[in-house]
Amino acid sequence: MAAALVLLSLSSMPARAADLALGFALSGVVEKVLVRPGQEVVSGQPLVVLDTTTIRARVTAVEAEITASQGVTELAERRFQYAQEQFDAVSLSKVELDTARIERDEARARLAKGQARLAVLHWRLGRSTLKASGKGRVKSVSAWPGMVINLRSENPSVVVISIP
């Protein structure tokens, strides 16, 4: 597999420079290459973008799951409170109270799991665009739309920046 490569050299730095190789933190398919050889770039400027279609679809699905889980959790909380009141009034058995507690705890756990999944998806979205870490000039670009970045087989350098 060919490695995606964008080379940058810092233009306003002393003559002593080293190369800094940058790559994506996740696998994906290159959607856009936003720079070309000879182009000046600034810190934070997007260089290469991965396709985020599947990530955005998962975000939508997980947000819907979280909304449903919030409703289930609220209902389980109310049921547990009612069960606790009935138990305190000696109208409910310990087994029924424990069942309500377990259902509440399971609902809380499903909600927390959904929120954690959403946080991971937002992290992936945030890292789907490779950005320049400093001011420089693009030396070469060897990434192309449709190129697969697969971190399981290798961790290709997508950008190399010359630094002082």
8-state DSSP, 1: -
pLDDT tier at 60 (50, 70, 90 boundaries)? very high
Stated pTM of the model: 0.80
Indicate the pLDDT class of residue 163, thresholds 50, 70 and 90: low
User: pLDDT, tens digit, for every residue of 84-142?
Assistant: 999 999 999 999 999 999 999 999 999 999 999 999 999 999 999 999 988 888 777 77
pLDDT of residue 36: 85
In this model, does residue 4 exceed pLDDT 80? no
Query: 21: pLDDT confidence band, cut at 50, 70 and 90?
Result: confident
Query: In angstroms, how far is CA 121 from the centroid of its own chain?
Result: 4
* Contacts made by residues 28-31, CB under 8 angstroms, sequence distance 24+: 28/52, 28/128, 28/148, 28/149, 29/146, 29/147, 29/148, 29/149, 30/4, 30/143, 30/144, 30/145, 30/146, 30/147, 30/148, 30/149, 31/145
List of domains in the chain: 6-50+131-163 (2.40.50.100), 54-125 (1.10.287)
- Angle (CA) 115-108-85 rounded to 5° is 155
Reported confidence tier of residue 164, pLDDT bands at 50, 70, 90: low
pLDDT at position 140: 74
